[in-house]
Structure 1
Amino acid sequence: MLRIDLNLVWTIINVIILYLLLKKFLIKPVTAIMDKREQMVKQGLESARAQESQAKELKVKYEEALASAKEESLQMVEKARGNAQVEYDRILGEADEQAKKIKEAAKKDVELDREKAMKEMQSEVAGLALTAVSRILQEGTDPHSDGALYEQFLKKAGEANDTDR
């Protein structure tokens, strides 16, 4: 029949008690620690995924902002070029106008100087002619003295003309 050895029963009871003690004091705390670790790892992964998606969103926003800034800077450069061209054209136009005014003023000055010189020469020639006439009247007329007076008149008229040059 079946015979049960008392040692065997005590060994089985000891093994069961040891198992229950190990389960309560060793396996449960280790399992709890492992569950906590697993939760921490899951939370870390979720946090990393959330941060990654947030980083991707920020990257997209920054790229859009960068593209917008580049476009805006290009528009500003084009606007500045346009303004510079307008200013260049305006300054060039003003310079042309001033050059024309200066040229016209110079022409007027030259014409006035020419007219003044002509009037001065006319007055000098008239004065020389009067002097010659007065000498002729004072000295009388004779062909030799008329020729000398004529030569003297030409000489003085030539000197007056030479000094104006």
Structure 2
Amino acid sequence: MLRLDWNLLWTILNLLIFYVLIRKFLIHPVLSIMEKRENLIEGQLKNAKAQEAQAAASKAEYEAALASAKEEAAAIVEQAKSEAKEKGEAIVREAEAEAGKQLIRAKQEAEAEKERARMDVQTEVAGLAMAAVAKILESGSDADSDAALYRQFLKKAGGANDTDGR
């Protein structure tokens, strides 16, 4: 059977006092420290989540700005291409117009040169004809001398009319 003596009572009383003291001086401070650490960790987690959300927003903003910059660069390149094409076409049109003018000018100069050559030939043929008439008048005219003069005239007129080197 169980007996109650003073030793058991003192032991129980000592244990109760020890429990109260440990609870007051050890368990409460440790629990409060653990609660503070838990609050600190929760705050840091909330802060980390907020920073992560802010980083995601910054990343989205950066990607939008990058996409906008790429679109703007593409538009600038496209505009530069179209301007270069227009300038190229304008240069080609100017060159064609200038070539047309030079061709017309060259044709006019060729025609003028051809007309001068024709006039020179006419002048020389007229001179030869005058010389032939003068010879005919100087010498008597018979059929053989007329034929010889005619051949001589054609020979000289043919050589004078041969301006292209034939």
TM bucket normalised to smaller = 0.7 to 0.9
Could you report, residue by residue, the CA deviation over 1:28-69 in whole angstroms, capped at 9, with x for unpaired residues? 443243223212211221111111221232133223323322
Corresponding residue for residue 31 of structure 1:
31
Corresponding residue for residue 146 of structure 2:
146
Corresponding residue for residue 79 of structure 2:
79
Larger displacement relative to structure 2 (154-163 or 113-122): 154-163
Larger displacement relative to structure 2 (142-151 or 73-82): 73-82
Tell me, yes or no, if structure 1 residue 7 matches structure 2 residue 45: no
CA RMSD of the aligned region, Å? Answer: 2.4
Larger displacement relative to structure 2 (119-128 or 81-90): 81-90
Which 5+ residue runs of structure 2 have no aligned equivalent?
none
Give the TM-score taking structure 1 as reference length: 0.83
Corresponding residue for residue 56 of structure 1:
56
Which 5+ residue runs of structure 1 have no aligned equivalent?
none
User: Judging changes above 3 Å, is the alpha-carbon distance between structure 1 residues 105 and 84 closer, same or farther for their aligned structure 2 residues?
Assistant: same
Tell me, yes or no, if structure 1 residue 111 matches structure 2 residue 111: yes
CA–CA distance in structure 1, aligned partners of residues 156 and 164 of structure 2: 13
May I ask how many residue pairs the two structures share in their alignment? Answer: 164
Same amino acid, percent of matched pairs: 52
CA–CA distance in structure 2, aligned partners of residues 78 and 39 of structure 1: 58
